[in-house]
Chains A and B, each alone.
Chain A
Amino acid sequence: NAGVTQTPKFRVLKTGQSMTLLCAQDMNHEYMYWYRQDPGMGLRLIHYSVGEGTTAKGEVPDGYNVSRLKKQNFLLGLESAAPSQTSVYFCASTQRRARDTEAFFGQGTRLTVV
């Protein structure tokens, strides 16, 4: 039972570098989400997708891009990393809309931008 798998688990970037975080789910879920978790801020929604080929902005989308080319994968990209993007990133998926069902989370990616 893999569930939601995030790659990589840890990463250190230099300011200005780019990277892509991969989220893969094997539950055939329609909806996928990217959150960032910062101390005292809880989980804040970056972008989300309601189905293959769709994306939408969340609360804090600036500096990030996403793509959902395949139903099972949701990619989060940082084009030019900044220290303010140091955070723990979580991917989640739901079978239906978040208001109707349980969200399943990955184990997180700890990103440090120096």
Chain B
Amino acid sequence: QQQVKQSPQSLIVQKGGISIINCAYENTAFDYFPWYQQFPGKGPALLIAIRPDVSEKKEGRFTISFNKSAKQFSLHIMDSQPGDSATYFCAASPSDGTDKLIFGTGTRLQVFP
């Protein structure tokens, strides 16, 4: 069963706009929340990550917001560019010590000029 739910499945944004992708988890405690970016024909690559002891992390135009009580976290891409067009995956790692990442279903982002 999918323990990390991601939305939307696809997103179309105009250049310069804000892209927002949301993820939520339930029933399981997680303590590491990375976001991965995947371009067509390539493997995913780490974009940015956050731990639950902080509510927000910013790296350039990319910001993760984390709401521990709501069990939700989101990725905001400011000033979206055509080069940001890719599939984005949120992920979470259980805090029970198991050695794995649970991925969301992915969001295909298209940024038009």
Contact = CB atoms under 8 A, between A and B. Distances in A.
A106 B42 CA distance: 8
B42 A42 contact: no
Interface string B25-58: 0000001101010000111111001000000000
Interface residues of B, number: 27
Contact of B105 (A40, A100, A102): A40
A106 B101 CA distance: 16
B66 interface: no
A103 interface: yes
Interface in B72-113: 89, 93-95, 97, 99-106
How many A residues touch the partner, as a band?
A: 20 to 34
A105 B93 contact: no
10 contacts: A42-B2, A43-B106, A90-B44, A98-B93, A98-B100, A102-B49, A103-B44, A103-B46, A107-B41, A108-B41
B70 to A, nearest CB: 21
B107 to A, nearest CB: 10
B14 interface: no
Please list the 3 inter-chain residue pairs (A to B) with the smallest Cβ-Cβ separation, ordered nearest first.
A105-B43, A99-B93, A42-B105
Given A97-B99, A99-B32, A100-B32, A40 B46 contact: no
A41 interface: yes
B32, B49, B95 interface centre (most CB from chain A within 10 Å): B32
Interface of A: 4, 31, 33, 35, 40-45, 48, 50, 56, 58, 90, 92, 97-100, 102-103, 105-108
Given A31-B99, A48-B100, A103-B46, A43 B89 contact: yes
A103 B9 contact: no
Nearest to B30: A99
B19 interface: no
B6 A42 contact: yes
Contact of B31 (A41, A92, A99, A107): A99
Contacts of B44: 43, 90, 103, 105
